[in-house]
Amino acid sequence: MKNIFTKDRLIKTLIAVSIITVVLIGLNQLGELSSNFLSKVGNAAKSVVIPFSIAFLLSFVIGPLARIIEDKTRFKRNVSVIIAVILGILVVIGILSITLTFIVSQMISVSVRMIEYLDNEAFKGFIENVIRVVQERLNFTEFDQLLDSFESYGLTPAILADWFETLFLWLRNFASSIAQIGLIIILTPVFMYYLIKDKEQVFTGILHVFPNKTQKHVKALGLGSDEVIRGYFVGFGIVMLFITIFFAITYSILSFFVPGFNILYAILFALIMGVFAIIPYIGVWIAMAMPIVLFLSLHLEATDPGYIYIIAIAMILILNIIEEAIESTLVQPRVYSKQVRIHPLAVLSSLIFFGAVFGLVGFVLAVPIAGMIKVTFKYFKEINLTKEEKAKKNKNKIEENNEENKTKNKKKKIKKS
């Protein structure tokens, strides 16, 4: 019988086990030592990837505007791009300024009206009582007496130290978030400028990162993805137009029944609803705050308002629910399936899947990602076709084009007759 436990085999086995054990221990220690380092690297990468992604998507909107400015004015390419980027920034700032100014002014008006409704004497007495209690609690001559008073309420120095530590961490995270948002606001226009001005050079540089054998495949997939993203933005514009028209019609009808709410308000709110649709799903709900605040302000200002403004607020909520249902189940799948050329069921599935995985960003990028996946599968499927299958496919395309041309010619003859 052959001895499987030879000396050489035992040595090799022990060496393999030792190497695996050392690698596992090393990875574990590296994970413990570098967890903070990796999180910092991840946050730094996020600070670059987020503005680059936003700039990449916006370049498909601002890019055509820069091209139009360049063609019409004969400015240089870089000047046209700068003008287009500045116009885009001004539009965003203008919309946000109008929206925030309106909401803040109406909230101030509502707050003033609510204070006026309060009994001034009772309100004044309440404030005086609060001040008196605070002064009594803080009227201590010695620090030890102050600590004893806090401890009588269960507020030991350890608990207070934990509270201050939590507050400090919250302030630090808040400051970090503000700095990150500021960095995104600064970097996005810069990235967008170079992506529009030197788009071909940027993507040619990315293309040269890949091996020579795969460059033609990467280029073909890039062109297909570019077409998908362009189609997505066209579809997105159609969806925004639908939202604007829907609310313009419904709010205009509502303006005939609600005092103080005229057609100008209806059209303004409808336009803001359409613009805020840039933020998927929650954008329209954020913009909905404007008419609700207006109706609440009108309700408080009216001498005998009745229930008309309460009913109007309820109608705003109902209209939003109806619009969201129509948009999600009918408009978006049909529009995106036509523009991006994927089935409505695939559009709904991608929205649900990528939204669940990546959250709000997933909802924004779901359709382009699904379109790019389809382009990738289609491209590699065409590569693997045999010569006979390719010839048959080209023949079918030629026949389809001939049929389309015949149909167009028939329509032209009918129009002439």
Going from N- to C-terminal start, the domains of the chain cover 46-209, 211-385
- Given this model, what pLDDT does residue 5 score? 52
Q: Which of 269, 241, 250 is nearest to 332 (CA)?
A: 241
Are 291 and 316 a contacting pair, CB within 8 Å? Answer: yes
Q: How far apart are CA 36 and CA 178, in angstroms?
A: 21
Query: Is a pLDDT exceeding 90 seen at residue 306?
Result: no
pLDDT at residue 252 in the model: 93
Distances in Å between the Cα of 311 and the Cα atoms of 210, 296, 299, 308, 316 are 61, 11, 11, 5, 9
Q: What is the pLDDT of residue 1?
A: 45
Determine the Cα–Cα distance for residues 199 and 194; give it in Å rounded to an integer.
Answer: 7
Residue 211 gets the label, from left (phi > 0), alpha (psi -120 to 50) or beta, of: beta
Residue 188 predicted with pLDDT over 80: yes
Please give the pLDDT value at position 247. Answer: 93
Amino acid present at 289: A
- The DSSP 8-state label assigned to residue 337 in this structure reads H
Q: Which two tokens stand for residue 161?
A: 């130290």
Burial class (CB in 10 A: 0-12, 13-18, 19+), 146: middle
SS3 of residue 150 by DSSP: helix
C-alpha distances in angstroms, 413 versus 219, 370, 402, 403, 408?
42, 41, 17, 15, 9
- Please check whether residue 117 is in contact with residue 300, taking contact to mean a CB–CB distance below 8 angstroms: yes
Torsion of CA 386, 387, 391, 394, to 10 degrees: 60
Q: Is residue 42 predicted with pLDDT exceeding 70?
A: no
The pTM assigned to this predicted structure is: 0.61
Cα–Cα dist 28/22, whole Å: 10
pLDDT of 319-373, one tens digit each?
Answer: 999 988 888 888 887 887 777 777 767 777 787 787 777 666 677 777 777 878 8
- Would the pLDDT of 253 be above 90? yes
Backbone angles phi, psi at 165, to 5 degrees: -65, -45
Averaging pLDDT over each range in 23-32, 123-132, 241-250, 255-264, which range is the top one? 241-250
- Are the beta carbons of 222 and 207 closer than 8 angstroms? yes
Higher-confidence residue of 288 and 141: namely 288
* Gap between the Cα atoms of 279 and 256, Å rounded: 30
Give the highest mean pLDDT range of 16-20, 198-202, 330-334, 400-404: 330-334
In the numeric block, which tokens belong to residue 197?
A: 């001005």
Identify the three-state secondary structure at position 131: helix
Q: Which of 221, 223, 227 is nearest to 373 (CA)?
A: 221
- Per-residue burial over 262-282, b if 16 or more Cβ lie within 10 Å, else e, is eeebbbbbbbbbbbbbeebee
